[in-house]
Chains A and B, each alone.
Chain A
């Protein structure tokens, strides 16, 4: 359920198709995931999961797989 929720956040913030989202989807690898989109992504993750990501985590959130790994630290299960 949380994987689907996270996918929808990526779809909305990056403006891409759900089919494009795989664990290998990486920051800056597609033009849609630039630094501005990244901050929008972080804001939406904060909002949707009711957390406040640490800045170190914001910097390390470099792929869809990494996003799940980071969110797990905030007790969000995938």
Chain B
């Protein structure tokens, strides 16, 4: 098992990539801390994991956009688990708007959840990881953060910010043997995709060289590689998981 006895916090764990990652990591022997806002979904996932793998994840229902709740979560992690080995910063929101229609509220909410929350989580997790001189942090960016897209100036900026934060934190934390990497998923079968009108969906599909949508499990596999010692000499990297998508 690649993550045997590793303590892993996954944000946005209740669905999509977060849920697939939770299931895969549990299978690989991780002690999970599942974060999300939908407590009912998290408790259901907790039961599912306990039934399938005999290990009961800790559920932490909090809004990653609320710094006070992040602080409390890490104080609890220190108390309950003493430390943390892997952080998966997965929680994110998608609100599309053409540049001329970007509102202040949309902008602050997107940056708060997609970017500030990631930096705060890295800040607190690295405090715990520094003591043990090991750890792996993986931030979920997006293909939009690398190449941009129409109607996604704010989302793209927040996800590009994730890449900048990843590369900087990787340099700062490398001396402590803490690795920081990012994945940039393309078109993945999640709730975010369900929001797309059919015309847009077809347009996206046409831009993928592998001619199919990606499964959340295919992103989870890359997250597993980056979380485990299989990637022990990999830091400051952004790995695209997009089936050859061109934007």
What total of A-B pairs shows CB separation below 8 Å?
A: 20
- B residues near A54, Cβ cutoff 8 Å: 71
Q: Which residue of A lies closest to B126 (CB)?
A: A39
Q: Are A52's CB and B131's CB within 8 A?
A: no
Counting CB contacts under 8 A, is A17 at the interface?
no
Partner of A42, one of B75, B78, B127: B127
Cα A47 to Cα B128 in complex, Å, equals 9
Counting CB contacts under 8 A, is A19 at the interface?
no
Annotate A23-36 by CB proximity to B: 1 below 8 A, 0 otherwise.
00000000000000
Q: Are A52's CB and B74's CB within 8 A?
A: yes
Counting CB contacts under 8 A, is B168 at the interface?
no
Counting CB contacts under 8 A, is B123 at the interface?
yes
Counting CB contacts under 8 A, is B130 at the interface?
yes
Q: Are B74's CB and A39's CB within 8 A?
A: no
Q: How many residues of A contact B (CB 8 A)?
A: 9
Q: Are B75's CB and A52's CB within 8 A?
A: yes
Which among B74, B123, B130 has the highest number of chain A CB atoms within 10 Å? B130
- B residues near A39, Cβ cutoff 8 Å: 130
- B residues near A55, Cβ cutoff 8 Å: 71, 123-124
Q: Are A43's CB and B127's CB within 8 A?
A: yes
CB within 8 Å of A: which B114-140 residues: 123-124, 127-128, 130-131
Cα A39 to Cα B71 in complex, Å, equals 17
Q: Which residue of B lies closest to A55 (CB)?
A: B123
CB within 8 Å of A: which B177-215 residues: none
- A residues near B71, Cβ cutoff 8 Å: 54-55
Q: Which residue of B lies closest to A36 (CB)?
A: B175
Would you give the shortest CB distance from B131 to chain A, in whole angstroms?
Answer: 5
Would you give the shortest CB distance from A63 to chain B, in whole angstroms?
Answer: 21
Cα A61 to Cα B195 in complex, Å, equals 47
Cα A24 to Cα B157 in complex, Å, equals 44
Given contact pairs A52-B78, A54-B71, A47 touches B131 in the complex (Cβ within 8 A): yes
Q: Which residue of A lies closest to B76 (CB)?
A: A52
Counting CB contacts under 8 A, is A46 at the interface?
yes
A-B contact pairs, 10 of them (CB 8 A): A39-B130, A43-B131, A46-B78, A46-B127, A46-B131, A47-B131, A52-B74, A52-B127, A54-B71, A55-B71
A43-B127, A46-B127, A55-B123 given; name 6 further pairs at CB < 8 Å.
A42-B127, A43-B130, A47-B131, A52-B74, A52-B128, A55-B124
Chain A residues with a Cβ under 8 A of chain B: 39-40, 42-43, 46-47, 52, 54-55
The 6 tightest CB contacts between A and B, nearest first, are A43-B130, A52-B78, A52-B75, A43-B131, A47-B131, A54-B71
